[in-house]
Each structure stands twice: as C-alpha cells, then as structure tokens.
Structure 1
C-alpha cells in the first residue's frame, strides 16, 4: 500500500513542481522551528535514546512525536546486513532492515516504561512481518536499545505486556546493531502530508498527546471561598485583605526553634529558621526568602507610607513588607512577615510532612 502511494506521490509531485506550485515545500507551521529546537535539546547529555520498529515508520514517528517528553525523532532503517541502504533496497526484502524510529526522550519528563506501553497500543505484537496493510520483513516489530542498562527494562516490560495476549508476542528486544537515516521525504512525513497513509488509527495520536500530561504543581493558589472556610478570620484578613496583625501578639514573632515557614494558603516553603533574626519589631523577621522566585515585591503607598509589599508568588497571599534596615552581615534586608501568613514546620516534623528535601538548608551557618 505504502509503495503505491509513494510512486503516485512522486509522479504527482513532479507534475506540480513543473507548474511551479512548490508542493514539496509544504509543511505545517513551525515544523522547521520545532525540529531545530528539538535538535538543540537532543544535544543535552541527559537525553536518552531508544529505537522502535512498529510497521510503517511514518505513523510510528508521528505517534511518538505527540508524547510529552519525546524531544526528537528520526526515521530510518535498523538492524540490517548491508550499509547505507536505500528505501528501494529495503523493500526488496534482501537487506534485513526494519523500518525504525529513533526516539530521543528526556527521562525526567517521560519514563521508558510508558513509551513501551504506548508503543504496544500501535501494533499487533503477535503479527509476524505485518502491521496494518503493510507486509514484509521491513515491517517487523522490535525495540532496540543502545544502552545496556535499558535491556532489563525493555525485556521485563515486554514480558509483562505479553501476558495480555493469547498468542506469542513477536516483538524483538535486542541491541541496536546499526541504524541508517531514511531519505528526507520520509522524515516527518505525516506533518508534511497530513492526509497521508498511516496504519495507526487516528484516535491513538490524540491518546498519545494526553498520555503524559504535565504534572500538577505541588502548590496551587486556593479559591477565596475555600480559604474563608480553611483559615481563621485573622489569617484570611491578613493574606486576602492585606491586613496586619498586632506586633508582639502573634504566633511566631519569638519562635526560635529550627524549621521551615510555609505559606499558610498553599503550604509552599518560603523561609527557613536559619535566615530568621530578632529585629525588635514584634513580627517574624527574615534576611531573605528561600529563593527570590517564591515571592513578589510590589510598591505599597497605603496608609500614607511608601513601602515594598511582599506577596507569595504562587498563593498571591499578602505576607508583609521588606525594609532595608536588616543586618549588614546578612545582606541588609528585613523581611517583616505576618505570622498569620505563615505556618511553621519544626525540623523534627519536616520529613514526615513532605519537606525533607529542605533539611540541608538548616545546616548552613
């Protein structure tokens, strides 16, 4: 099927090209830019690679391009017995090559096990040398690895998935012996030819786009209605209505234990005890937040004064103000923060309450 379409496409292309239509330049918007960006990412030393043979590589490549965490793809011919084969040589069934997609992925965004699981949804793993309407040994299925550490993952995952089938699974799980890039017209084929032939059911592309969604942020801004029920009246007044609690009559002004101070509205860490100091003002005072990216600073001209307000970036809660009369040896700033905007987590509870990774911050002097 694919061979016939290729021949017809070439004939049509020559005719239209002669008429000056520029058909061969047709691509989706931003395809070139996306490819260039992917090439940059593919240079990242943390990026891993794996090779999937799943029938016609046009559809297999397009499928993997939909998955978040896949940062680069390339179609080619793998594990054959000649060098630099052409497409015509591969389809002659004399070279032993399989149509294969080189997949580069960021393991911090997508797990190899998920890639394998999704790949199985695009193939009949019990079929020998046939996927969809395509027949021939170049359409055999396989997962080829270049990193010895991937061998166990690949084999174990395929064995696990094989339990879902009544017939033997014929997917090869072997090291990559060789791989040669296919001709340019095969690369990103379905991007250039949206209506082109594909053995993969179209709905699977949408499934791939949704299969690895961005994780929800650990800390999220809360609705004011929720906060009104969750917070005390003073906490709500301070964080949502820019109120100010009384000095020397608040929970943490004289707190001296080791620990971490988090946003009362979201639980996001903001300050640590090692940056807290006694300022004499009657409110908790810190020389700096854990990182500047956790807060927003805004000009405040209320009450006939000019001050710099401090708000939590994620929760958008009013915290207090920052002044330039802090200790010089600590940077000269004083973050004067309302206790009502904070929740203190003692050091002994940080691990159990999910703040264990911040414990090293308490070791600094």
Structure 2
C-alpha cells in the first residue's frame, strides 16, 4: 500500500513539474476572445494590422471604449518570432495591434471605420515608408461572428476606390506579443516615427464622445433585468446588505464610484476611508448636488438616509462620526448601490474629466 501511495504522489509531482516547465517557456498561449471573456465578459477583442504598429496602437489608445492595447506579431508561419525575424519579411507575420474594447461603449463598426482612416487600403504590403509583408493591412478576428461585419465594411469601403482593396479579413491564427520596448512606444517616445498623420489622433479621441444625457433614471422593469436581487432590493426598497461581506468594503484602489442604476459619478476613492463598520465609507460625495438626504425613522432609529438625486436610488446613511480632519462626516454606503471604475479604465468608460480629482487631497 505504501508503495502505491508513493508512486501516486510521484506521478502528481511529475504533472506539476511538467506544467511549471510549460509556463516557464518563452512561448505564450494564443490570445482569443474566449480567453478574454473568461477574464471579463464585457470585453471584446479585435486585431488590426496597418503598417508600423507603433502608430496604430497609439491611435486606438485614444478611442473612448478601448480598454487595452498590445502590439505583437499575427498570423505568421512559425511560433514566437522576434522583431528581428519579423523584419526580414520571411516569417509571414504582420505587425498587429490587439485592441480590447467594451462593446457597451464603442462598437466594432466604429473601430473598423476609424482603422480605415489610418491606412491606404489599396497599398499592398506598404504603409507610409514601411515596406514588406510584415506591414500588410488586415483585420484579424478572434470571434467568427465578427467576420460578416468586417467583410461588409470592406465591401462598402471599396465603393470609394477604383483600385482593388487589399485589406485582409482573416481569422486570428496566431498572435505573439512584441518585445517590451515596442509596447506603448509613442507614449514613451513622443517624437518617434509614425506613419499616421498626427491630426488623426485628435480625431480618434473625439470619435466616440460620451452622451450628455447618459445619466437617466430607468424604469422598474429595466432595473429588475439589469440588477442583481441584492442591488435591486438595496437601491429600490431601501434594504441593507451584510456588513463585511460586500464588494467594496475593502476596495482601496484609485478610481471612481458611480450609481449602479444610472452610471452617474457619486464618490471618489480619495474620499474613501476605513471606518471599520463593514461598509464602504466616504467623507463626502463628489458634489452635494448629486445626492439628497432625508430623515429615516425605520428600524427604531432616527437616521439620515442618502439617495442618488438622478436615480433616486437608496445608497445608505450619513453619520457625524467620521474623521475630523476630513470634515467629520461618514457616508456609510452599500456596495450594492455602487459600481467601481478603476483609474486605468476611467478614460475609456467616459469618466476622464474626473481623473484630476484623484490627484487632489481631501
């Protein structure tokens, strides 16, 4: 029996060592939309090749709704190529930008239309001063459902040209990230080479502006469909979630807290503090105009209830036992009433103008 146990243990160790060996190698798993959705089901991915990837990446970084970019080498004929190898034009790989985006903020159709503005779609294996198959133009999809829209967009584009459109529309077969120094290259080297006309960056920045009337109260049927049971009970029925067992009690990253029912900004992380009460606590809202306070005599107590003004959603209560150096107030807020937007996502999700608040002390 002991021998059997020892053999089994050695087998398990062998499997673990084998996995460690796989992940220690330079080659990385291929990126696909399925992988992305396992991380965040609201994130979609598309891949754009259009000449030097430095400029293409910087261009898409400007678009509201694009949450991440990465430059790399796509659809080559061997694995994990280096920049030097790709530069020979013999690998079959194209310099490509992986664009991750939130489809609730920006749609694929707009991204494709913007991409067309950065290239000459009739130029084969060349954009700007860059020549070679590694600089060919193409849109590579990880989701088969994206193919139809992309082909329709290319067909529509062709009506504006007498020459043949040479933009590839292919499934993503391989994608390997480029060396670190290529990532966010123009952010680190503002004067670096770029084949894209500088004015297009401003165009991309303004291509998908947030709507002025985004923050509106929704009807009960819509809220029941969009919110969890706890979120609905808290915001619509004035319920209170469990202390210490909620999403944002221990959340202290930089970012903004918005009304879960409307998306309207309510609190900022610089005003959040550890109160030890089991719920997120803030010294003040972003603006007093965003909340309304009423007397609450429920539960045998007299308290001051806090609601969002636009959404009329129950948020929590305000007490006068907060830190004196922060004004003495404690806005004790249910996590279920809020949605947290981390600082690095604020621009993409339309909250860019609030980023400056994170640099101010309370």
TM-score by length of 1: 0.52
42-51 or 132-141, which deviates more: 42-51
Judging changes above 3 Å, is the alpha-carbon distance between structure 1 residues 271 and 121 closer, same or farther for their aligned structure 2 residues? closer
Counterpart position of 1:168: 164
Partner of 1:118, secondary structure, is: helix
Counterpart position of 2:248: none
Matched, 1:193 2:189: yes
Counterpart position of 1:87: 83
Partner of 1:198, secondary structure, is: coil
Counterpart position of 2:359: none
Alignment of 1:273-312 (within 5 A): 290=236, 296-298=292-294
Match of 2:133 among 118, 134, 137: 137
Alignment of 1:148-167 (within 5 A): 148-167=144-163
Q: Which has the larger radius of gyration?
A: 1
Question: Are the equivalent residues in 1 in contact too, given 2:37–2:44 (CA < 8 A)?
Answer: no
| Alpha-carbon distance, 1:290 to partner | 4.0
158-167 or 175-184, which deviates more: 158-167
1:253-299: CA deviations, max 9, x gaps? xxxxxxxxxxxxxxx56899xxxxxxxxxxxxxxx984766862146
Judging changes above 3 Å, is the alpha-carbon distance between structure 1 residues 298 and 120 closer, same or farther for their aligned structure 2 residues? same
Question: Are the equivalent residues in 2 in contact too, given 1:80–1:96 (CA < 8 A)?
Answer: yes
Judging changes above 3 Å, is the alpha-carbon distance between structure 1 residues 215 and 185 closer, same or farther for their aligned structure 2 residues? same
Structure 2 unaligned residues grouped into runs of 5+: 1-35, 222-233, 239-258, 262-290, 297-301, 313-362
| Alpha-carbon distance, 1:44 to partner | 1.1
160-169 or 145-154, which deviates more: 160-169
| Alpha-carbon distance, 1:310 to partner | 9.0
Aligned counterparts of 1:269 and 1:45: Cα–Cα separation in 2: 23
Alignment of 1:11-160 (within 5 A): 43-160=39-156
Judging changes above 3 Å, is the alpha-carbon distance between structure 1 residues 163 and 291 closer, same or farther for their aligned structure 2 residues? farther
Aligned counterparts of 2:171 and 2:194: Cα–Cα separation in 1: 27
1:225-248: CA deviations, max 9, x gaps? xxxxxxxxxxxxxxxxxxxxxxxx
Judging changes above 3 Å, is the alpha-carbon distance between structure 1 residues 214 and 137 closer, same or farther for their aligned structure 2 residues? same
Structure 1 unaligned residues grouped into runs of 5+: 1-39, 221-267, 273-287, 301-305, 317-365
TM-score by length of 2: 0.53
1:177-216: CA deviations, max 9, x gaps? 1111111110000011011110001111111011011122
Aligned counterparts of 1:78 and 1:309: Cα–Cα separation in 2: 55
Partner of 1:61, secondary structure, is: helix
Counterpart position of 1:209: 205
Question: Are the equivalent residues in 2 in contact too, given 1:50–1:103 (CA < 8 A)?
Answer: yes
Partner of 1:60, secondary structure, is: helix
| Alpha-carbon distance, 1:46 to partner | 2.2
Aligned counterparts of 2:178 and 2:204: Cα–Cα separation in 1: 24
Aligned counterparts of 1:180 and 1:114: Cα–Cα separation in 2: 25
Judging changes above 3 Å, is the alpha-carbon distance between structure 1 residues 125 and 165 closer, same or farther for their aligned structure 2 residues? same
- Aligned residue pairs, count: 211
Counterpart position of 1:334: none
Aligned counterparts of 2:306 and 2:178: Cα–Cα separation in 1: 57
